[in-house]
Amino acid sequence: MGIMRMGYAHVRVTDMTEAKNHYASTLGLYQTLEDISPEGNKRTFYKGWDEWDHHSLVLEEGGVGVVKYGWKVQHEADLDDIEKKAQTFGLSVERMAAGDNPEVGDGIRFTTTSDHVFEVYHSQTAIGTEVGTHNPDPFPRHLVGIGVPALDHSLITCEDPKLMERLLMDVFDFYATERVQTTLEDDHDLVGTWMTSNNQIHQMAVIGGPQGKLHHFAYRLDNWNEVGHAADLMTMDDVPIDVTPTRHGITRGQTVYFFDPSGNRNEVFAGGYLAFPDRPTNVWTVDQLGQGIFYHARELNERFTTVLT
């Protein structure tokens, strides 16, 4: 099937001690490794309780924003297929060796038209979920903080969302579940696109903005009650909340947006409908964008549209 899921987000932080407190104590991620990057920066690796691969988040000290994304494929042969598709699209592709990223096998790497670095790989060291696979309980007994189970998706910005949408379609075989357009005509300008390769409502979203920027990356929760509980815990931990619990019109997901200590925007996300490649794409027009993003308030706040890392 090619791309199965987003395997990891590699993000910069300004202070590792503060970042570790946020991601381990408030979000409840499990630390799996600490090391020093080839550039001499501190790095910390994390996974959620329901993830079996070694890590889904890498924090690297020294700035803000996203360093790169990792995408896991189902079959080793998928690497060759995606490499050819990326080259046909006009991208410069390099091979990465096992160990270039700790616990990650060999693969390919390229820079997208949005100026984001994507790595595609087939294997990562499996260390198991926190509940195992033999008569597993539904969740660990001693969750820390919010206890997020897994990485869900990310939203990035670029100057040409339509070109980036075509890249994700042509190279990754993604399809659009939702779009924001200037008009309903075929020659519309694309404002944003929400894309996936499976039944997940979206794995990557792209909106118009500066090249190479991160808007947010998100962790999955089960339901609306967990979203509200997460917001309570954020308040207890003095986490800056960007948007209090609400619903998206786009994707129908339930959400809280908040910031890590470095200013990178996070999200916890629940709900949304099942996606299928033959399902018609939902289309929103710009005049209804406020309701599309924040269904209840029906308007965007300035911080949400301008703060990027």
User: 202, 215, 219, 226: which is the annotated catalytic residue?
Assistant: 202
Q: Is 189 helix (H, G, I), strand (E, B) or coil?
A: coil
Beta pairing, strands 42-47 & 241-247: unpaired
Give the tokens for residue 62.
Answer: 């020294």
Based on the residue annotation, tell me whether 54 is a catalytic residue of this protein. Answer: no
User: 8, 153, 165, 226: which is the annotated catalytic residue?
Assistant: 153
Strand partners, 118: 69, 110
The residue ranges of DSSP E strands in 17-85, in sequence order, are 30-36, 42-47, 57-61, 65-73
User: What totals of helices (H) and strands (E) does the chain contain, helices first?
Assistant: 6, 17
In whole angstroms, what separates CA 12 from the centre of its chain? 14
> 42, 64, 46, 67: which is closest to 264 by C-alpha?
64
What is the phi-psi region of residue 183: left when phi exceeds 0, alpha when psi lies from -120 to 50, beta otherwise? Answer: beta
Residues in Cβ contact with 90 at an 8 Å cutoff, skipping those fewer than 6 apart: none
Residues in Cβ contact with 287 at an 8 Å cutoff, skipping those fewer than 6 apart: none
Based on the residue annotation, tell me whether 296 is a catalytic residue of this protein. Answer: no
Based on the residue annotation, tell me whether 116 is a catalytic residue of this protein. Answer: no
**How far is residue 236 from each of residues 24, 146, 174, 227, measured CA to CA in Å?**
15, 11, 39, 15
User: 55, 69, 216, 226: which is the annotated catalytic residue?
Assistant: 216
User: 23, 69, 121, 257: which is the annotated catalytic residue?
Assistant: 257
> 72, 12, 18: which is closest to 37 by C-alpha?
12
Query: What's the number of CA atoms in the CB half-sphere (13 Å) around residue 118?
Result: 28
Q: Is 133 helix (H, G, I), strand (E, B) or coil?
A: coil
Query: What's the number of CA atoms in the CB half-sphere (13 Å) around residue 121?
Result: 22
Give the tokens for residue 293.
Answer: 């993003």
Based on the residue annotation, tell me whether 248 is a catalytic residue of this protein. Answer: yes
Based on the residue annotation, tell me whether 257 is a catalytic residue of this protein. Answer: yes
Based on the residue annotation, tell me whether 216 is a catalytic residue of this protein. Answer: yes
Residue numbers annotated as active site: 153, 202, 216, 248, 257, 267
